[in-house]
């Protein structure tokens, strides 16, 4: 089977998953986010842990808004500049009692950041996981999103492969890959979070594995019992080179996380309160903010970091 055929198998799985229905309230929030940006809006994706939740009240829904360009979405000012230089911009949103946040990416940045053409893990690691395409402006926009999301899981597994054993269980293939990406960002989630991603939808990952391996171009067979055996081993030199690359991803990723956090204090109303909420929810830490930290959110967020690192609340 040629390269196009291998990609088509995965694309079909991705297209079916993106088209799965969502709670009508989620679709309504997505449409309202898109309406806010008018003709610039091309697609809205719903992702994250809330995909698995039935009771949405009290949760923070996660969306990506894909726009034609930052200038068309924001005009010529600071927001367009910030989104172009350090994507994405993130904004809070409320609709009919539901609370959400949405990240904004241009079509070009979404295609780039969801693929192996970037070292940064933040987009391809997220869209290697399940998501739903809940609003699109056109069939052309839908096609572009499906193509971009199809690149995400191969980017993840391709980047992780040199760090994996030549024989690995399907569960460990994904869990170890996600663990590598979690280490490349400042994260508030517990260390077990990477494994829980697979456990939350194990059948989905088992179903996707053959198509992802094929699309990645990896010669592997899946044996009875869920063991993946790679035909080609990884040389010690390639493994060392991959380890250096992942160290570079970790350095860059953590710095990018800090830079985005600082930027969010200028674009995200209540950004430091959201940071505290996320840490409290995912890391089991009690973070209380002082009035001065709310008044000076960039300095406040930076001042939290040493304490959070010492507690292990972020890594």
What pTM value is reported for the model? 0.85
Q: Is 290 helix (H, G, I), strand (E, B) or coil?
A: coil
Q: Is the dihedral of CA 3, 142, 110, 60 positive or negative?
A: negative
Q: Counting every residue, how long is the chain?
A: 315
pLDDT of the chain along its 315 residues, tens only?
Answer: 445 666 789 999 999 999 999 999 999 999 999 999 999 999 999 999 899 888 898 888 999 999 999 999 999 999 999 999 999 998 889 999 999 999 999 999 999 999 999 999 999 999 999 999 999 999 999 999 999 999 999 999 999 999 999 999 999 999 999 999 998 886 655 555 666 899 999 999 999 999 999 999 999 999 988 999 999 999 999 999 999 999 999 989 888 877 777 777 666 655 556 666 555 554 455 666 666 555 555 555 556 656 555 555 455
Contact in structure between 50 and 60 (CB atoms under 8 Å): yes
d(CA 247, CA 68): 34
pLDDT at 155: 98
Helix axes 152-160, 139-150, angle to 10 degrees: 10
| Parallel/antiparallel/unpaired status of strands 89-95 and 98-106 | antiparallel
Which structure tokens are listed for 108? 């070009």
**Structural domain boundaries of the chain?**
3-154, 157-242, 270-311
Of 116, 110, 125, 112, whose CA–CA distance to 218 is shortest? 116
pLDDT at 53: 84
pLDDT at 117: 94
pLDDT at 310: 56
Question: For the structural domain made of 3-154, what CATH number should be given?
Answer: 3.30.460.10
pLDDT at 202: 96
pLDDT at 52: 83
d(CA 1, CA 214): 9
d(CA 264, CA 271): 6
- Cis peptide leading into 44, omega within 30 of 0? no
pLDDT at 10: 96
Of 15, 10, 47, whose CA–CA distance to 157 is shortest? 10
């Amino acid at each position: 089977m040629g390269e196009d055929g291998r990609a088509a198998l995965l694309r079909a799985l991705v297209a079916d998953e993106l088209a799965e229905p969502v709670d009508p309230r989620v679709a309504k929030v997505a449409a309202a986010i898109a309406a806010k940006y008018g003709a610039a809006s091309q697609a809205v994706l719903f992702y994250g842990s809330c995909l698995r939740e039935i009771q949405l009240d009290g949760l923070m829904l996660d969306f990506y808004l894909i726009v034609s360009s930052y200038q068309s979405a924001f005009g010529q000012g600071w927001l367009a500049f910030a989104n172009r230089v350090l994507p994405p911009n993130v904004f809070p949103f409320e609709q009919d009692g539901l609370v959400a946040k949405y990240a904004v990416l241009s079509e070009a940045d979404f295609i780039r950041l969801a693929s192996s053409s970037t070292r940064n893990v933040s987009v391809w690691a997220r869209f290697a996981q399940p998501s739903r395409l809940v609003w699109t402006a056109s069939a052309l926009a839908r096609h572009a999103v499906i193509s971009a999301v199809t690149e995400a899981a191969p980017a993840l597994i391709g980047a992780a492969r040199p760090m994996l054993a030549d024989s690995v269980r399907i569960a460990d293939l994904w869990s170890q890959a996600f663990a590598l990406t979690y280490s490349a960002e400042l994260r508030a989630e517990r260390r077990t979070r990477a494994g829980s991603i697979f456990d939350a939808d194990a059948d989905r990952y088992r179903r996707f594995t053959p198509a992802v391996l094929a699309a990645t171009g990896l010669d592997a067979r899946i044996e009875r019992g869920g063991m993946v055996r790679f035909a080609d081993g990884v040389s010690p030199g390639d493994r060392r080179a991959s380890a250096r690359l992942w160290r570079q991803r970790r350095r860059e990723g953590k710095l990018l996380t800090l830079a985005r956090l600082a930027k969010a204090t200028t674009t995200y109303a209540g950004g430091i309160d959201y940071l505290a909420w996320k840490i409290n929810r995912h890391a089991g830490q009690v973070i209380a903010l002082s009035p001065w930290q709310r008044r000076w959110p960039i300095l406040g967020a930076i001042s939290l970091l040493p304490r959070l690192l010492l507690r292990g609340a972020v890594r």
